Structure 1
């Protein structure tokens, strides 16, 4: 796996670093963010939607990403989309 750094929270501090990377080969985004409070994680886990099992599988996690990172996430999506067109 070869991750490509896309961006970091523009307001990051010394102890925080929400970050976005992509793996063009696998067509995947990697997001580092904050853990939600237990209450918010439970709310996410309880959400019932068609095609979605209730709960959070052991191999998955909920992370919080600040809205100010929308441009960074969009850049990552665009990079993956361009890579997909080349393949």
Structure 2
């Protein structure tokens, strides 16, 4: 897998670095973010959504990304050509 770096939280410090990459080969966005509080994770896990099982599968995670990274996330979305990754 070859990740393409898109951007890092513009207010990142030495100890924190929410980051966005893309994986062109798989057509995926890859995020590094903050771990949620146990309360937030429990709230996410408890949500009942149509067509979605309750809970968070062991193969998935909840991460927090600051809103100030919206432009970086948009750039990552634009960098992936959906036509190359039709499922």
TM-score by length of 2: 0.93
* Aligned residue-pair number: 85
Aligned counterpart, 1:4: 4
Cα drift, residue 82 of structure 1: 6.7
Q: Are the equivalent residues in 1 in contact too, given 2:27–2:82 (CA < 8 A)?
A: no
Cα drift, residue 57 of structure 1: 0.2
Residues 10-25 of structure 1 correspond to what in structure 2 (within 5 A)? 10-25=10-25
Where does structure 2 lack aligned partners over 5 or more consecutive residues? none
Write the distance in 2 (CA, Å) between the matches of 1:47 and 1:82.
29
Write the distance in 1 (CA, Å) between the matches of 2:17 and 2:84.
28
Write the distance in 2 (CA, Å) between the matches of 1:83 and 1:29.
15
Write the distance in 2 (CA, Å) between the matches of 1:49 and 1:62.
16
Residues 49-64 of structure 1 correspond to what in structure 2 (within 5 A)? 49-64=49-64
Q: Are the equivalent residues in 2 in contact too, given 1:24–1:80 (CA < 8 A)?
A: yes
Cα drift, residue 84 of structure 1: 2.7
Where does structure 1 lack aligned partners over 5 or more consecutive residues? none
Structure 1 segments of 4 or more deviating over 3 A?
none
Aligned counterpart, 2:42: 42
